[in-house]
Amino acid sequence: MTGKRFARLAAAVAVCLLVVAAFVVQLLGGRGSVPGWQQLRAALGVPLQTEESAPQTADGSTVVYVLDVGQGDAVLLCQDGAYCLIDTGPAEAEDTLLYDLDVLGVPSLDYLVLTHPHADHTGNARAVLRTLPVKTLLLPLWQPTADETADWPRHLAELAADSGAEILTAEAGEEFPLGSGKLQILQGGSEDADSVNDASLCTLFTAGDFRFLDTGDAEADAEQRLVDTYGPTLHATLFKAGHHGSYTSNSPTFMQAVRPEAVAVSCGLHNDYGHPHRAALQNYAEVGAEVWRTDLEGSLTFIWQNNTLNVETSADSADFAA
């Protein structure tokens, strides 16, 4: 075999192997030892946004980043140079999360909010506290029963205290300033909750006419309490899908009260739970909400400027860069 023929054969084999590898990642990424696209991106140093594709935001604009951390939640609020991170995703997304925060130029966090003690929301809380200065750690009221297995990451309180962060148990009705906006506590946990999900810290971030609602993993009972308490004032421009788009959350009554312009579903590709569920997607459709998904479109960037909501995705950025 001549050198040229051997080189062509080797190139063809390499292409085939790359195609097979891409197929495996697409089909099985995030399961077991197979990395997902976001994990590969972080390992290879591919940025969340390229310089050309990053959103150009003006002073006073509001940006919500729903970061792709696989099967979990991590939402970054940015207002006038102030930052709030709501949840930190699962531990296996540590490199991805820290890389994204670095690329986005986050120097410190005014608030680190942990909605409830499940590992897909708190998995990188300690890593964030070790990496970034955090002014305030906001936690819900949570009184676990004797047989409850959910708990905060080990030594979380000690690490937060050592880092200089103030630790607060949030209560319904409290408000925390973030730039020219404010983070309102709608539910600060619940002593009456039957599950840790229903004890989720529920927050409403407002800046001007923009409203972003995050209910953690709160399910139908907690949603009904919110409807009974706040009614149509739950309306939001952007809603982070409850419990990753589960049918146990996102109830029709609740969605009719929220009536969001857009819904961001944070879940892993081909996740074992089937998120987002068909019933939840149907409930979003019935209120006319546009649905965006991290499992299909990667990290989501929502920009509120001039009373208009625009959306960019890391999938769009990758296409642009290509």
The residue-averaged pLDDT of 308-312 equals: 95
Paired tokens of 64: 């919500």
Task: Look up the pTM and report it.
Answer: 0.85
Question: By the 8 A CB rule, do 55 and 317 touch?
Answer: no
Classify 116 as helix, strand or coil. coil
Is CATH 3.60.15.10 what the domain over 62-321 is classified as, yes or no? yes
β-bridge pairing 300-305 and 290-293: unpaired
Using one digit for the tens of pLDDT, what is the confidence trace for 138-149? 999 887 776 777
Residue pointed to by tokens 């009373």: 307
Highest mean pLDDT: which range of 1-15, 49-63, 156-170: 156-170
Band of residue 177 on the pLDDT scale cut at 50, 70, 90: very high
Domain boundaries, the chain: 62-321
The residue-averaged pLDDT of 16-34 equals: 57
